[in-house]
Amino acid sequence: MTIVMKKIEKSFGKTQVLREVDLQVEQGELLALLGPSGSGKTTLLRMIAGLESADAGKMTIKGKDVTNTSPKERKVGFVFQHYALFAHMTVAANIAYGLKVKKRKDRPSKEEIETMVNDLLTLVKLDGLANRFPAELSGGQRQRVALARALAIKPDVLLLDEPFGALDAQVRKELRRWLRTLHKQTGITTVFVTHDQEEALDVADKIVVMRDGQIEQVGSPITVYEDPQTPFVYQFLGNANRFNGRSNEGSIQVGNAKWETASAFDNEDVVGFARPHEFVVSKSYQGNADLEVVVQSIHPVGPIIFIEATQPGSNDIIDIQQPKKVWSALNLNEGDTMYIRPEKIGIFQVDDYVI
């Protein structure tokens, strides 16, 4: 293991921000800490860096107990959301800074530093910009300089705090793709914080979903998206429709529809979640799995049609997504009745359901 945290706790005054957090980050892993504001993800990242100390618990990096060690002793590279570049220094000087402030016995020679800086400029695709100043660069270029500066010290762990949060959507998408490639090239264990679900799903090898200072679920992007273990994960990691129903021998009764489930709950009130793209839609009634709804709005976005529907007598919106070709064949319009059934639904006890 590269990073192991056991029973980590942290409070600021009377507010507890981390509660008995247990987490393992494997060597060479690209891990995302994902959660809403106030979930504790940034505090946990700063704790790995040594910028915050734990009130309780233990942390090791590469087998070494670092619970009470300073940031300098941890060999960790940290990239902040707003770059934190030195405005009066050139790109090359910014990248070389961490090397030049090393103790004399550990400091590379001037020639070695120059070679390392040039290699890093090539790695982050900024060749030819060594003598420019941060003000002369785009936001995406400044972020890559910050990453190169963090990599220059050859850290055991690279930490990124909302690395693309200050950039526009198109640049964020390009840098996400670039970060995946960079990680494959370097193999450095990397932990990054984000509140952007799409970013976490797109970039990470593993996602840690956090809420109220605790870990809700840990797993691969596919696992946490397709097999959420709590109602919170279902709703936070991608859009999901909520249905209240009654469980009965492997099924849930929602309105007049009976949906088969893998749930073990029997004869009790439950809450079910189904994602918008996981509905089968029909124009006519096909059987007892069909839930009658009324089309309220139709909104095409590229190849996908976004539909809002409601059950008769209800104002609760059900979000549905259909491929344009499938929807066109149905020939349905606003105000029409149609029938839906989920291909997959997650079932939880009502007591588990908390917004």
3-235: CATH topology? Rossmann fold (3.40.50)
Residue position matching structure tokens 């290699």: 119
- pTM listed for this prediction: 0.87
Q: Pairing mode, if any, of strands 3-12 and 15-25?
A: antiparallel
Q: What is the pLDDT of residues 222-279, one digit of tens each?
A: 999 999 999 999 999 888 999 998 888 788 899 899 998 877 777 888 999 999 999 9
Tell me how far apart the alpha carbons of residues 293 and 312 are, in angstroms, rounded to a whole number: 6
CB 59 within 8 A of CB 1: no
Determine the length of the chain.
355
Mean pLDDT for the chain? 91
Q: Pairing mode, if any, of strands 56-61 and 64-65?
A: antiparallel
Residue 354 has pLDDT above 70, yes or no: no
**Which residues fall within 8 angstroms of residue 59, CB to CB, at 6 or more apart?**
3, 4, 5, 6, 8, 47, 48, 65, 66, 67
Tell me how far apart the alpha carbons of residues 296 and 161 are, in angstroms, rounded to a whole number: 41
Q: What is the pLDDT of residues 297-313, one digit of tens each?
A: 999 999 999 999 999 98
Domain ranges of the chain: 3-235, 239-352
Q: What is the pLDDT of residues 76-114, one digit of tens each?
A: 999 887 778 899 999 999 999 988 988 888 889 999 999
The reported pLDDT for the residue numbered 113 is 92
Q: Establish how many alpha carbons lie within 13 A of residue 131's alpha carbon, considering only the half-sphere containing its beta carbon.
A: 1
**Check whether domain 239-352 has CATH 2.40.50.100, yes or no:** yes
> In what order do the strands lie in the sheet containing 257-260?
257-260, 251-254, 241-247, 269-274, 346-349
Q: Determine the residue type at 266.
A: D
CB 71 within 8 A of CB 38: no
Residues 106-135: what's their mean pLDDT? 91
Residue 292 has pLDDT above 80, yes or no: yes
